Chain A
């Protein structure tokens, strides 16, 4: 799979030769800014279309049928991507992952409503787990950055996705809260058997919580052409 950016006389190429991710994996993509971490996560979340893709297979259930996403890309089935993403992916951004006009409870419940899943007391349970019960009736603007991030985690996990993708979730908070956030994501991914993919600069934090790490190492063919190549098989 290849994705290329060019502009201002420079070009960047992200080349994924092989990347196997097993159910329940805890992967951290580390590397400096501009090394294609977010690009890779966006491609995996089907937010971004690669320039070329030979194979992209997804098994939503253990032993179940395979989704040939490369073929879907060829056919440009954007509705299928949207549905796939909505059902199987929880995505956490650095900031601003909540709709400002809905309360925290409504934000958490929105993916459930969209998938027509029972609401029951899901929002309350997540709020209790993430210590934001008192904030359920409030709008996001009334919450602190940390509370908003926890609410966003609840929103991303409420519909029980198979994959949780977090794009630099610690970049907007102080080191203490960054540690708490990564710890929270790890405990939740363990509890709910969710595959956790994290893009971060915080290599030490990722090591501390036992992430398998994939380093985005930039190689320069010349001053204006840079490439990151990833080749990670399932291993022995």
Chain B
């Protein structure tokens, strides 16, 4: 299949690119006008998109970065088997899942070791493990039965820090006898304030199951506690801690759990609110963009048409010398691409100045790393592609005019 404009000798293609660039430079005043006109259309679009992207990201960033927005919390107790946990962990939309024991059995009294007179607080036990999104890489995840991460609240009340030794105090009533276990543990990390708002202690699932067994009157070797032996049958759990891979996965994952008759609570509504704002702003933006791009194409296209008419003699002269007509069609296209690239470059420069001014203006209202107006390199590259596409679309008008120009009358034109 032959494509018009491509079926020309390579030497003609190379020469036409050089000639179009030379003419573009020679007519610098006209070229500058085209470039300025393009920038004038592009700058408001970049600023509008930068504002939309910046504002929406200011709303979305905390949601994306805070793992609590990805948490799916079961509404009540259930009966979850190890197989169920395995299946859930294998799902691509699940970032982290760990079983929870019964809430009533998941508490412990805590005090600083060697501080009999010190403060004793009731703390909730929360299971954690490798990959827990609440903790960064600098926090050591508790392993075994003697390590823990304290919530910020509990750490503050106890005056504990990383490395502090704590006593966990467990009591139970067994055979009319009050039994107390004091279990020594070491603090491996302090959770961020937002991770858990109450007095809590993140521990391994082994520790939680040991506490649950102890409360259930069973024998727990680690606590040197006697009692009934646990049957060999696999253990079911009352609940779970579950985090979706991405905020976009929360709605589908919670729907999946609901379909399994597991009632859950999520922050999907908060996420949806911001996403719907993003969608609506995007619609408004693209309506404006299409109108502006359409207007630009029309104005640039007619200008190129007039320009091609003005240069009819020069185009005819090229054909007289031996350039093929379908090759000369590329002449306005190459110049349109040059206009598009330079217009984009100028628009980006102006945009960055405006972005700098806007972000400085709203500096007091922004958090660290936030910007009211911002664009990524990908956005600017997309803008370049769209600009070149629009410029070429407009230039095809001029190209068609060149292709239809009669050589003889072209040479006679002034």
Contact = CB atoms under 8 A, between A and B. Distances in A.
Query: Looking at chain B, what size class is its interface with the partner chain?
Result: 20 to 34
A111 B321 contact: yes
A47 B322 contact: no
A83 interface: yes
Contact of B408 (A47, A97, A98, A111): A47
B19 A99 contact: yes
Given A82-B325, A101-B26, A47 B11 contact: no
Nearest to B320: A91
B36 interface: no
A101 B27 contact: yes
Contacts of A23: none
A113 B15 contact: yes
Contacts of A145: none
B322 A115 contact: yes
Interface string B165-193: 00000000000000000000000000000
Contacts of B158: none
A82 B408 CA distance: 13
Contact of A114 (B313, B322, B408): B322
Contacts of B27: 101
A113 B11 contact: yes
Contacts of A139: 26
B323 interface: yes
Contacts of B319: 82
A136 to B, nearest CB: 16
Given A85-B322, A114-B11, A115-B322, A99 B317 contact: yes
Contacts of B12: 114
Contacts, number: 59
A121 interface: no
A82 B324 contact: yes
Interface in B64-87: none
A83 B11 CA distance: 13
Contacts of B321: 86, 110-111, 114
Contact of A87 (B322, B325, B407): B322
B162 interface: no
A83 B322 contact: yes
A47 B407 contact: yes
A213 B12 CA distance: 38
Contact of B322 (A78, A86, A99): A86
Interface in B302-328: 313-314, 317-325
Interface string B106-128: 00000000000000000000000
Contacts of B325: 78, 82
B404 interface: no
Contacts of B320: 45, 47, 85, 91
A167 to B, nearest CB: 9
A113 B318 CA distance: 13
B181 to A, nearest CB: 94
Pick from B26, B317, B324 the residue with the most CB of A within 10 Å.
B317
B323 A47 contact: no
A191 interface: no
Nearest to A87: B322
A100 interface: yes
Contacts of A48: 407-408
Contacts of B322: 82-83, 85-87, 111, 114-115
B22 interface: yes
Nearest to B412: A38
Given A82-B319, A113-B11, A100 B314 contact: yes
23 contacts: A42-B408, A45-B320, A47-B320, A47-B408, A48-B408, A78-B324, A82-B322, A82-B323, A82-B325, A86-B321, A86-B323, A91-B320, A96-B317, A98-B317, A99-B23, A100-B314, A101-B23, A101-B25, A102-B22, A113-B15, A114-B321, A114-B323, A139-B26
Interface of B: 11-12, 15, 19, 22-23, 25-27, 313-314, 317-325, 407-408, 411
Given A47-B320, A101-B22, 5 more contacts: A82-B325, A85-B320, A101-B27, A113-B11, A114-B322
